[in-house]
Structure 1
Amino acid sequence: MPKKAREMSAAEVRRLTDPGLYAVGGVAGLQLQVAKTGARSWVMRVKIGDRRRDIGLGGFPDVPLADARAKARVVREKIAAGIDPVEERRVARLALLAQTQRITFDEATEKFLTLKRHEFKNIKHAAQWENTLATYASPVIGAKRVDEIALADIEELLTRGNLWLTKTETAKRVRGRVEKVLDWATAGGHRTGDNPARWRGNLDARLPNPGKVAKKSHHSALPIDDMPRFMSHLATMEGSGARCLEFAILTAARSSEAKGATWSEIDLDARLWTIPADRMKARKEHRVPLSRAAVALLKALPRHEGTNLVFPSARNKMLSENTLTAVIKRMDGTMPEGQGYRDPNTGGIVTAHGFRSTFRDWAGERTAYPGDICEMALAHVIKNKAEAAYRRGDLLEKRRRLMKDWALFCAEGATQGSVTPIRAQEG
């Protein structure tokens, strides 16, 4: 036990200004520490077990003498009760730090999207993430701390308004996006434990298999025999959108790939369009052989200053999402009753994406080209992993003959490749 010091008055303590340690009395071990800078603070010197500890009790005069003695007595009482005040403070600081690291799901989403935005394919993709999470996740778990979100919360947001059964594809995307946000939060120390949005071994035991409940919707596609009529009509339409649609059809490309086409991707002499991996759905470079019709279309196009886009909008920007659809609707609207461009199966006006289905139907039903060539023309991923591992080339020259025959069919209705798909003569 430290020697009991004389109990100083408040006035005496105020006069202590020389550097050093001064026992002020009243409680054994209580001292005023005066630094060389003139700063003064309270120190409680005690022995806890076999260890000597100096415990800070605050600065003087912010903590007056009477308050310092009161704090010192509390320290003595805790030690007598077997409590280590230093360890107690450390635990409290860690708890406070953990509290500051806890963030809500909405806050986690904002931070996640800010960090990951450069990984999205385009601005539209990023907007889809923000919109789906704001629409479906935020109302249920947005204000909840990420470390409090449980399986029941995820189940509620996925089944709210019968979402899982009526909008299954959307619900699947929401689940996957919530899972990624929570994974980010876990990696950042904001939460611990299993991810409640995980499907396998978790939600799959609580929700119906999406493959069993999702209603497959197909893009409305033009019947094969209507292609020459449609292409003849399309050739009369003016504007960048019409030419982009025509190019997309001739190349069997996705509308997004055609709209984003740049002159630097196209080699007119080699009759080749090379789409970089970052613009492809499968994130793999895709080479598209250009038929004579596709090359003629490109050569007839004007080059616009200020943009490298092949099919720019009036403002030299990429064409909007609905531009190609608008072209088809205008065409359909000019046709007599019963002669428009409709899908007999869906009853709807055909879509730009639907022409890829028309191309595949034509190749499969009217030609003898092997299926793998047709699938590669559509830039579809090989589902068989073993086959994909051994496939090195992209069958470019064989696909060149296929695209020539497709262009001829679109123009004349003649299927050149139905008997001998591999010919020496190039088109």
Structure 2
Amino acid sequence: MPQLKSDTRAQVASLIEKAIALGPRKELRTTLLRALEIATGDAPKELTQLHYDRLGRGARLTDPQRPGLMMKSSKTGLKRWTYRVQAEGKQREITLGHYPEMSVAEAREKWADMRAQRSGGETLDNMTDTTVEQLVDHYTTWASENLRSWQANDRLLRQHLLPGREAITLAELDIDHLSAPITAIQAKTPQQARKLRSAISGVLTQARKAGLLPKGFGITPTMLPEVDSAKARTWHPGTKDLRAFLAATADMGDIGQALRLIALTGTRLREAVEMRWDEVEGNRWTIPAERMKANRPHVVILSDAAMAVLDARRGTDSPFVFPAVNDPQRTRSADNVSHAWADKRGEAGLPSAFTIHTLRKALATWVAESGGTRDIRDRLTAHTLATGVDAHYNQAELTAPAAEWWQRWADHLAAIEGQNVC
């Protein structure tokens, strides 16, 4: 019986060899060669799902029966199917999908389709040629129309994600490419790492919504590494720090005056440096919703010292209170002020913890220590927790007492500058 089986296999192999000798091409020839391997007992073993399930991190597994079909496992264990081909004189590796989102059977079917597509002279799916930089550009275009923080997100992506990765295509993209920049900065600047993670998540989400990701693309925002929350900063400027700050800003021109206004009003950097004359009516400054973090208008009652800052700046044709800071030829006015203060801070011998944002903390802390209630502190710093109708009533009810606290704070800063406070 075994001899009979051997004879049959030999006869079949002989017939297949004769068929191959007729010169068939492409898929027919491949099929005959595969049949010959089986008939002669030389066929490689078919890989099973268990082989792929057991593939370790950082390893790869090539299908011995399907030229170019491979599974690659990242260092974090994310597995993706790839199809390695020669195209335009160079080797390309196209991502077919991720495992187990794309099953073994689906990957083999996709491989067969793409192989037949190439054999017929057709081009492969161009979506796999989309680069990381193109995804970031698409996200930035969307974010510029929908997010107030789009410039900060764009800057983080171009500073940390793109360098060395801009030309990586979706065919080559791995979760490690997206995770590495987050991991690289999270120990030093966890807050920036969280923002970068959020921005990269946005890139993936918008790319999927726009149909830029190929079928079976399995990288999702949930795969990005989590970043531990930074410890709350308890430091705030003391009397000596504020005195050094006021002295340092005296010779900083427009930027110094903008910083003084921030200190006097407790406003955020962008809210102040982009201040326009048409927002001011008497001593009432209404910051529009689009420039506020809470996305609703904020009314500031300017103290005598804050009005003095404005009065010294009147008489220009610019719509901006601080025109040099908002020169149309310069971009990101808030960044320019922030960088200028960082340089001046070092000259003044102030700690790096003295950021522009800590001026808000200085105001809120002094008000709390002086008996101001939580409602007043929230009103001064635009942290009002109420929403809807309640928010409008609270604004109206607290504006008068808030005006008194703004003036008291201005008087306190004047006393510090005049060295009347220890």
CA distance in 2, matches of 1:302, 1:148: 57
- Identify the residue that residue 380 of structure 1 maps to in structure 2: 383
- Identify the residue that residue 189 of structure 2 maps to in structure 1: 167
Q: Does 1:357 align with 2:380?
A: no
- Identify the residue that residue 312 of structure 1 maps to in structure 2: 323
CA pair 262-134 structure 1, distance change in 2 beyond 3 A: closer
Secondary structure, aligned partner of 2:162? helix
- Identify the residue that residue 21 of structure 2 maps to in structure 1: none
Q: Does 1:137 align with 2:161?
A: yes
The RMSD of aligned alpha carbons is 4.0
CA pair 328-289 structure 1, distance change in 2 beyond 3 A: farther
Q: 5 Å matches for 1:227-376?
A: 227=242, 229=243, 233=247, 237=251, 239-268=253-282, 271-305=283-317, 307-313=318-324, 316=327, 321-323=335-337, 326=340, 342=350, 347-348=351-352, 350-366=354-370, 368-376=371-379
Secondary structure, aligned partner of 1:274? strand
Residue 251 of structure 1: how far off its partner (Å): 1.0
Q: 5 Å matches for 1:29-44?
A: none
- Identify the residue that residue 49 of structure 1 maps to in structure 2: none
8 Å Cα contact 1:141/1:149 also seen in 2: no
> Which amino acid letter does the alignment assign opposite residue 396 of structure 1?
T
Deviates more, 1:246-255 or 1:271-280: 246-255
- Identify the residue that residue 114 of structure 1 maps to in structure 2: 141
Residue 266 of structure 1: how far off its partner (Å): 0.5
Q: 5 Å matches for 1:154-233?
A: 154-159=178-183, 161=184, 163-191=185-213, 192=215, 196-199=219-222, 202-203=223-224, 207=225, 209-211=227-229, 214=230, 216=232, 221-224=236-239, 227=242, 229=243, 233=247
- Identify the residue that residue 27 of structure 2 maps to in structure 1: none
CA pair 328-110 structure 1, distance change in 2 beyond 3 A: closer
- Identify the residue that residue 44 of structure 2 maps to in structure 1: none
- Identify the residue that residue 401 of structure 2 maps to in structure 1: 398
* Aligned partner of 1:101 among 105, 127, 131: 127
Question: TM (normalized to structure 2)?
Answer: 0.57
Residue 246 of structure 1: how far off its partner (Å): 2.0
Q: 5 Å matches for 1:140-151?
A: 142-146=166-170, 149-151=173-175
Residue 412 of structure 1: how far off its partner (Å): 3.2
Instruction: Give ranges in structure 2 of 5+ residues lacking alignment.
Output: 1-112, 418-422
- Identify the residue that residue 12 of structure 2 maps to in structure 1: none
Query: Kindly, what percent of the aligned residue pairs are identical?
Result: 22
8 Å Cα contact 1:255/1:352 also seen in 2: yes
Question: TM (normalized to structure 1)?
Answer: 0.57
Residue 183 of structure 1: how far off its partner (Å): 1.7
1:159-204 deviations in Å (ceiling 9; x for gaps): 3x4x3333322322222222222222212223246863423xx44x
Residue 267 of structure 1: how far off its partner (Å): 0.6
Secondary structure, aligned partner of 1:288? strand
1:93-140 deviations in Å (ceiling 9; x for gaps): 9x9687133322222222332344344548xx53x4344323433357
> Which amino acid letter does the alignment assign opposite residue 397 of structure 1?
A
Instruction: Give ranges in structure 1 of 5+ residues lacking alignment.
Output: 1-87, 334-339, 415-427
Residue 274 of structure 1: how far off its partner (Å): 0.7
CA pair 113-362 structure 1, distance change in 2 beyond 3 A: same
Secondary structure, aligned partner of 1:210? coil
8 Å Cα contact 2:193/2:227 also seen in 1: no
8 Å Cα contact 1:112/1:184 also seen in 2: yes
Secondary structure, aligned partner of 2:335? coil
CA pair 352-152 structure 1, distance change in 2 beyond 3 A: closer
CA pair 349-168 structure 1, distance change in 2 beyond 3 A: closer
8 Å Cα contact 2:237/2:354 also seen in 1: yes
CA distance in 1, matches of 2:367, 2:342: 23
Higher helix share: 2
CA distance in 1, matches of 2:366, 2:265: 14
8 Å Cα contact 1:291/1:400 also seen in 2: yes
8 Å Cα contact 1:133/1:174 also seen in 2: yes
CA pair 378-154 structure 1, distance change in 2 beyond 3 A: same
Residue 233 of structure 1: how far off its partner (Å): 4.2
CA pair 100-236 structure 1, distance change in 2 beyond 3 A: closer
> Which amino acid letter does the alignment assign opposite residue 403 of structure 2?
R
